[in-house]
Amino acid sequence: MKILVYIEPHPIRNYHEEFRDVGKMIVQALVRTGRGGRFDFRFFSNNIVADDIVAAIPTASLHVIRPTLEESTVMSEFDRTWNKPAIEEWLRLVRGDGSVSLTYTQMLERIHDEFPFDVIVMWSENGAVRSFGAARNMPVVNLEYGPTRSPLHKTFYMDAKGTNGNASVLNVSDELLASLDPLPPETWIAAQAGQGVDEDQVGLLDAGNTLRSQGADQLVPSAPYVFVPLQLADDLNTLVHSPFASPEEFLRAILPLYTRAGYRVVVKGHPGAAGRPYNLAREAEALLYARSFGENVVVVPRELPFASSINLIVQSSLVATINSSVGFEAILLGKKTALFGAAVYGRSGLLSYDASGDQSALEAWVTFLCGHYCLPLEALTDGDALIEGIFAISAEHHGGGKYDDAFWRDWIERMPQGVQWVTAGDANRPLYAVTEPGTGRTLAGFSGLSESRERAIFRRSGSVHVRATLHGSGIQAFATLQAGKFFGFVDELAEKDESTVIVRGWALESSGKRPPVQVFFCADDRIVSCHRTATERKDVFDHFDGMIAKRVGFTFEVDKKVLRDAGFCSLMLLSSDNSVQEVLLREGAIGSV
């Protein structure tokens, strides 16, 4: 199986690194679990994210597919003031509409020509990616954080249809849920009962009832109240998965409803709004409307720490939300939640505006979500849940894509990590044996080469083959030789000290202006050293007006004896399309444009 990890390259909120950290998690997990030869993968993003991931995970350099110079230029044109027009453009991409979606679809076509992937893995939502997959009958796996936030246990989920209201998990049958042994929702917090939320180390489960946090007890109305946590105005949860266009519109729908019913309402701003001008302005409009209700609505500071927020949740009669994770956390704390938008935890009929749903059915639903679907984050970072989920979804897609009870029963068997975590079991099942197949594979994507020994090169007409030893087993890899693939410069070839020679330079693809994914220092018929292009070259970056990757430079420090004993030395520059250019080691230009 060939997997493409699509790490959103589109600039969101004037920020190119919105998905950098989650992308790094996914790439690290696949690098770690991919050595058994069950799959091959590449990842794609903008140059800023690609640089950061390759710098943090050296072996990931062989798995990166970068944007061309032309693609980077187009993406830079999408980076504009974060206002309604920019948000609308992003929403068109999320829906798969318009020229912005066509732009990214064309990038996917170019990537597929280079690396014919079978499945796409991405974080959050992107309609262009979904359209590309649908047109080729190709499965797309969406990943997202589960609906709990620190200090509650962090989770993630993966789904074949999308996130939140698009997720296929919302179609699990009542019959399947009824077959589970339900656990009280509080169970999933009781496992963290010893974790404190303030300096007194009050447990999470008890904090809301016993903690008298500074200021929080004075904010709680004496009358029964509904707690309303606001969400960001430019969040997809608001814009795509709800009927509300803004936080103010949400409050206009619910405040009259609850105040007429005799409740006070406690409204809390989103902590992330303060640093985002667009969100801060929209939230200010919502809070201005809330204050028009006088003493019936209390607005509390958005900066309240979790210890205070949990107090407000537990003392409330009800938590009302569009689809915030706070709503799910409230359920785990034993409170009722009224859901007004579409959420991954928002099963129909269980979370109505008055939160009068069937409690036993809710317990079964939460047991399924926490036990088998919203998995502990370490099952991704340290376990094999990600690749198991990708294989399960891919098999179901090509088997008809029903995602019916048969699929979910198999999923429950495959994914026990949530139950294992709550019962103090091993949430991380053993990984597959770390071995490399003896058959040949592409040099691009072969991260094990840098760890191998006795790396011999065999040059044939139009190709180069490498044989090496890894963990006692013989391995092979090949690439296509292509003259003129790269251009660049070897700036320095000089003695560093009496025993070491330093080689320093830079390189870019002639077409697309991407750096090589790897540079090999070769002596005769051996690879002496492997390096990713990891050095920042501001001079080259500025020359191309900032539209290329910053890290296009390479540096080798080689034993002088290697150069003295070799008949000739060379550099092999490897592209993500699995072609290499070999150049003799000397100062001066590398190839030509």
Query: To the nearest whole percent, how much of the chain has pLDDT over 90?
Result: 67
Q: Give the Cα separation of 78 and 90 in Å (integer).
A: 9
Q: What average pLDDT score do residues 293-304 get?
A: 92
Mean pLDDT check: name the lowest of 117-121, 164-168, 464-468, 584-588.
464-468
- Could you give the domains of the chain? 1-138 (3.40.50.80), 184-369 (3.40.50), 442-591 (no CATH)
Q: What pLDDT sits at residue 428?
A: 45
Residue 3: which of 48, 52, 40 has the closest Cα? Answer: 40
| AA identity, residue 27 | V
- What digits encode the pLDDT tens for the residues 399-418? 999 999 999 999 999 999 99
Q: What percent of the chain has pLDDT over 70?
A: 90
pLDDT at 349 over 90: no
Examine the pLDDT at 166 and tell me if it is beyond 90: yes
CA distance 181 to 186: 15
Is residue 194 predicted with pLDDT exceeding 50? no
Across the range 66-82, mean pLDDT stands at 95
Closest CA to 229 of 150, 296, 325, 305: 325
Starting from the edge strand earliest in sequence, which strands make up the sheet with 225-229, in order? Answer: 297-300, 264-268, 225-229, 318-321, 337-339
Residue 89, amino acid: E
Q: Is the pLDDT of residue 435 over 60?
A: no
Mean pLDDT on 22-30: 97
Which residues, including other chains, have CB under 8 Å from residue 444's CB and lie 6 or more apart? 62, 479, 517, 518, 574, 575, 576, 577, 578
Q: Which pair of structure tokens corresponds to residue 460?
A: 């044939």
Say if residue 438's pLDDT is above 70. Answer: no
Q: How would residue 187 be classed by pLDDT, with cut points 50, 70 and 90?
A: confident
Residue 171 has pLDDT above 70, yes or no: yes
pLDDT tens column, 81-107: 999 999 999 999 999 999 999 999 999
Mean pLDDT of 148-159: 90
N residues, the chain: 593
At a CB cut-off of 8 Å and minimum separation 6, what does 113 contact? none
Given a cut of 90, whether residue 195 has pLDDT beyond it is no
